[in-house]
Amino acid sequence: MARWEPDARGRMTRAALDLYAEQGFEQTTTAQIARRAGVTERTYFRHFADKREVLFDGSHELEAAVASAITAAPDTADPLDVVGDAVATAVAALEERRELAARRAAVVAATPHLQERELLKLAALRDAAAAALRARGVPEPDASMVAEAGVGAFRVGFDAWIASGQSRPVGDEVRSALAALRAQARG
Q: How far is CA 30 from the centre of its chain?
A: 22
Cβ–Cβ contacts within 10 Å for residue 23, how many? 11
Among 27, 95, 112, 168, the residue binding a second copy under the rule CB under 8 A is 112
Q: Does 180 bind a second copy (CB under 8 A)?
A: yes
Closest separation in Å from C-beta 2 to a second copy:
31
Cis peptide before 112 (omega within 30 of 0): no
Among 17, 69, 132, 178, the residue binding a second copy under the rule CB under 8 A is 178
Site string for a second copy, 116-145 (x = CB under 8 A): xx-xx-xx----------------xxx-xx
> In terms of Cα–Cα distance, which of 79, 87, 91 is closest to 146?
79
Q: What share of the chain is helix, strand, coil (3-state, %, to 5)?
A: 75, 0, 25
**Taking a C-beta distance cutoff of 8 angstroms, is the pair 89, 3 a contact?**
no
Among 80, 87, 91, 107, the residue binding a second copy under the rule CB under 8 A is 80
Interacting residues toward a second copy by CB under 8 A: 78-80, 112, 115-117, 119-120, 122-123, 140-142, 144-146, 148-149, 152-153, 155-157, 160, 176-178, 180-187
